[in-house]
Amino acid sequence: MKNENAEANSRPRRRRWPWVLLVFVLLLGGGLWGGYEWATANAVRTLNSRLAERSLYLSYTSSSWVPWRGLGLENMALYHDEARTKPIISLSTLDVELPWQEMAQNREFISRWKVHDATLELHDPKGKVTLEHVTVDAVVKDGVIEYTKLDLKHGPRLFALSGELHLNTDEKGGEKPGSLEMDLDPMRSILDALDFKKDAGTFLISGKVSFDARVTPMAWSADLTGEGEHVVWQGVPMRKAVMKTAMSQDGFTGTCNIAFPKGTTDLDLSLKSWRDAPMVFTGKIADSGGRTNQCKGTYRGKEDVVTVEEMQGKANMLEFMGNFPAMNAQLPKEVHVREYPDMVMKNLVWKTAEGTWAMESLRLRSPLELSVKVEGHELLVNQLKGDVSYTGGAWKFADVTAKVLGGSVSLQGRHDGKVLRDASISVQNARMAELSPWMGESGSSFGKALASLNYKGDFAVEPEHLTGSGSIQIENAPTMHVPLLDATYTLFAALIPGLKKEDGNGEMRGQFTSKQGVLNFSSFQASGGSITVTGAGSVDLVNHTISGKAQGRLRGVGGVVTAPISRLMEMEVSGPLDDIRVKPAGDGLVGNVVEGTVDVARGTIKGATKVTGSVVKEGVKLPFRALNLFRKRE
């Protein structure tokens, strides 16, 4: 009976335990919730109080408290003023741990700041700088913020930094109220200078950066290394770029080593002020063959201007400048340097943002050896010397001399990419045999023929740009290569029975003016053996035609050169350049003239004949192969 009563009394108590447990859980949950609210509010109050002592004011859109994480803030910002109108720093997310036990033991305020993949905005009076993918791990205590990790991204630039920030303290070691003044000019200068292309390789900057807010203005220093592969800076591709710098609020010193597609640079860098002073560089460049030039210059980041004040040495500058797209576009593509000279270059100015450049002077102190592709054939240019400049999109040549085709060439003028303006060109004693690849003739057929040319005016490969005046001369050439001479022999042989064509050499001289590709010869004279030809006419290099009149004189009756009587013939020269015809003019009669007189007696000499048949109708073809240079191009 007693046991039954005890069992009956125990059942209600068992049924009450779940309710008691539920009430306890609810009370505990309410206490935790209240503790959570209290902890969050207390953490925020503590943080605000510590910041306000330094004239820093916090704002955020939401906050949370998690015991194992601490205080979490969303869209946090620090301001200079209590009205929160002058921002200093803003973060998309921030976690602040407050280790209460550690603070109690050390009797000082300690906090741990953690940021993961956040967006950071830094502000100064000139504006803001936005940094992305920011990750921070920092401890704040005893007036020092020590960050063991500060990773961030700005375009193709990655930063992996560590360091510390010393806050204001008074003489007794206490904290000294004061505002945190930021100057972002150095950061802007660095980001502007490291303007790498986004869709190419990345450039990693790593090292230590320290700040000291105990002095005004705030002092800072940094030891950084930057390195990237297959990066593109200001449009310039680089196989590898490495920079090492020691920086402070006053400026920086460092080194820069770059490997281009062709060639390298090794430079020492310095900057005396982040405000208006340019970055100064000195060092050397090297071409792909290891030849070097010493150089010095400046870089102004705000204006995006690189100035090479002076460069001298034996490196292949045509090859090296080809690494820079803006310059490469203006370099001759058919030129191959066989031996680069000792040179000195002054004041090359490259405006990187505009993609334009200019060069005050390039003087060759020893001969340059190169080859040029002309109409599919290689033209060797030896012992090239002179001064060259580039400005306003045009090359200027001054006192340029070279050995070409076995002769000598001198050149002055301004080349705008198509036309050599205000040119002065002199070619003396060029070997015509070396012109054979362009004239379609065996070199041996020219013998020891020499050609000379003097020209002033506008000159170009495209004949429509030829406007000027000049003279041309051919010496010691086989008669077949002297214009009109061979054709005149052929005509006289057709007119005078028994006349034999003479072998030997001849010469030619001519004076001409040119306008838009039409050459007008005011005087022309060719002679060889017993034949002399004079004349005048025009050569239209645009429409590829020739038109003129000439007078052929055969000295001596019947070809006897010592005879006092010569034969005289009027001729017409006409046709397309690839089929020039020479034929007698008028009625086709040959006349006689006594040497020393100008009187002509037509048709009175025995042996004179009336020209008939194909000679009159078709004339004699003039194989002046030099005009092949101006043939019509497909």
**Do residues 549 and 571 make contact, with C-beta atoms less than 8 angstroms apart?**
yes
Altogether, the residues listed in the chain come to a count of: 634
Using the CB atoms, write b or e for 414-443: b if 16+ within 10 Å.
bbeeebbbebbbbbeebbbbbbbebbebee
In a shared domain, residues 382 and 507: no
Instruction: Mark out the alpha helices in 412-507 (DSSP H runs).
Output: 436-439, 485-495
Q: How much is the pLDDT for 363?
A: 93
Residue from 577, 619, 583 nearest 440 by CA: 577
Residue 48 has pLDDT above 90, yes or no: no
**What is residue 26's three-state secondary structure?**
helix
Stretch 290-319: mean pLDDT? 92
- Asked whether residue 240 is assigned to any structural domain, the reply reads no
In angstroms, what CA-CA distances link 272 with 284, 310, 349? 21, 21, 21
What distance in Å separates the CA atoms of residue 404 and residue 402, rounded to the nearest whole number?
6
pLDDT bracket for residue 194 (50, 70, 90): confident
Residue 291 has pLDDT above 60, yes or no: yes
Q: How much is the pLDDT for 177?
A: 47
- Asked whether residue 228 is assigned to any structural domain, the reply reads no
In a shared domain, residues 470 and 322: no
Q: What angle (nearest 5°) sits at the alpha carbon of residue 539, between those of residues 538 and 544?
A: 140
Burial class (CB in 10 A: 0-12, 13-18, 19+), 333: exposed
What distance in Å separates the CA atoms of residue 168 and residue 217, rounded to the nearest whole number?
12
The residues, any chain, with a CB within 8 Å of residue 152's CB and separated by 6 or more, are 120, 131, 132, 133, 134, 135, 158, 159
Q: How much is the pLDDT for 189?
A: 77
In a shared domain, residues 167 and 307: no
What distance in Å separates the CA atoms of residue 484 and residue 532, rounded to the nearest whole number?
9
Residue 567 has pLDDT above 90, yes or no: no
pLDDT bracket for residue 21 (50, 70, 90): very low
pLDDT bracket for residue 604 (50, 70, 90): very low
What is the model's pTM?
Answer: 0.70
- Asked whether residue 17 is assigned to any structural domain, the reply reads no
Which residue bears the tokens 């620090």? 78
Residue 22 has pLDDT above 80, yes or no: no
When mean pLDDT is compared over 383-387, 441-445, 458-462, the highest value belongs to 383-387
Which residue bears the tokens 């449009």? 235
Q: E strands, 98-249, where? A: 110-124, 127-141, 144-154, 157-166, 203-212, 219-233, 236-248
DSSP assigned state of 143: T
Residue 245 has pLDDT above 90, yes or no: yes
Return the amino acid letter for 30. G
Q: How many structural domains compose the chain? A: 3
CA 88 to chain centre: 40
What distance in Å separates the CA atoms of residue 299 and residue 314, rounded to the nearest whole number?
24
**Do residues 514 and 538 make contact, with C-beta atoms less than 8 angstroms apart?**
no
Domain that holds residue 570: 450-634
Q: How much is the pLDDT for 224?
A: 95
**Do residues 103 and 46 make contact, with C-beta atoms less than 8 angstroms apart?**
no
Stretch 346-358: mean pLDDT? 89
In a shared domain, residues 171 and 307: no
Among 103-117, 154-168, 230-244, the minimum mean pLDDT is found in 103-117
- Asked whether residue 503 is assigned to any structural domain, the reply reads yes
Residue 9 has pLDDT above 80, yes or no: no
- Asked whether residue 2 is assigned to any structural domain, the reply reads no
Q: How much is the pLDDT for 346?
A: 95
In a shared domain, residues 179 and 317: no
In a shared domain, residues 210 and 286: no
The reply to whether omega before 463 is within 30° of 0 (cis) is: no
pLDDT bracket for residue 603 (50, 70, 90): very low
Percentage with pLDDT > 70 across the chain:
80
Among 33-37, 322-326, 357-361, the minimum mean pLDDT is found in 33-37
Among 41-45, 278-282, 496-500, 509-513, the minimum mean pLDDT is found in 41-45
DSSP 387-413: EEEEETTEEEEEEEEEEETTEEEEEEE
Q: Name which residue leads in pLDDT, 547 or 34.
A: 547
**What is residue 187's three-state secondary structure?**
helix
In a shared domain, residues 567 and 485: yes
User: pLDDT per residue over 151-173, tens digit each?
Assistant: 998 888 899 999 998 876 554 44
**Do residues 467 and 495 make contact, with C-beta atoms less than 8 angstroms apart?**
no
Cα diameter, the chain: 180
User: pLDDT per residue over 448-474, tens digit each?
Assistant: 999 999 999 999 878 899 999 999 999
How does strand 565-576 pair with strand 581-584? Answer: antiparallel
Q: How much is the pLDDT for 538?
A: 92
When mean pLDDT is compared over 291-295, 349-353, 578-582, the highest value belongs to 291-295
Residue 37 has pLDDT above 80, yes or no: no
Q: How much is the pLDDT for 624?
A: 55
In a shared domain, residues 396 and 478: no
How does strand 157-166 pair with strand 203-212? Answer: parallel
Return the amino acid letter for 178. G
Residue 601 has pLDDT above 60, yes or no: no
Residue 558 has pLDDT above 70, yes or no: no
In a shared domain, residues 283 and 357: yes
Domain boundary among 350, 375, 404: 404
Burial class (CB in 10 A: 0-12, 13-18, 19+), 110: middle
- Asked whether residue 27 is assigned to any structural domain, the reply reads no
Q: How much is the pLDDT for 618?
A: 61
Q: How much is the pLDDT for 180?
A: 63
Q: How much is the pLDDT for 634?
A: 45
Mean pLDDT taken over the chain: 80
In a shared domain, residues 373 and 455: no
Q: How much is the pLDDT for 94?
A: 87
Q: How much is the pLDDT for 332?
A: 76
Q: How much is the pLDDT for 443?
A: 63
Among 12-21, 278-287, 388-397, 420-429, the minimum mean pLDDT is found in 12-21
pLDDT bracket for residue 41 (50, 70, 90): low
Return the amino acid letter for 203. F
In a shared domain, residues 269 and 169: no
Structure tokens belonging to residue 402:
């070279």
Q: How much is the pLDDT for 142?
A: 81
Q: What angle (nearest 5°) sits at the alpha carbon of residue 347, between those of residues 343 and 353?
A: 125
pLDDT bracket for residue 575 (50, 70, 90): confident
Residue 225 has pLDDT above 80, yes or no: yes
In a shared domain, residues 200 and 148: yes
Q: How much is the pLDDT for 110?
A: 81
**Do residues 128 and 150 make contact, with C-beta atoms less than 8 angstroms apart?**
no
Q: What angle (nearest 5°) sits at the alpha carbon of residue 204, between those of residues 202 and 207?
A: 175
Q: How much is the pLDDT for 20?
A: 41
User: pLDDT per residue over 473-491, tens digit each?
Assistant: 999 988 877 888 888 877 8
Structure tokens belonging to residue 77:
């910002």
Q: How much is the pLDDT for 472?
A: 93
- Asked whether residue 16 is assigned to any structural domain, the reply reads no
Q: How much is the pLDDT for 56?
A: 78
Q: How much is the pLDDT for 155?
A: 83
Residue 402 has pLDDT above 80, yes or no: yes
CA dihedral 105, 107, 109, 115 (to 10 degrees): -20
pLDDT bracket for residue 69 (50, 70, 90): low
When mean pLDDT is compared over 4-13, 317-326, 424-433, the highest value belongs to 424-433
Stretch 605-613: mean pLDDT? 46
- Asked whether residue 78 is assigned to any structural domain, the reply reads yes
Domain boundary among 336, 370, 404: 404
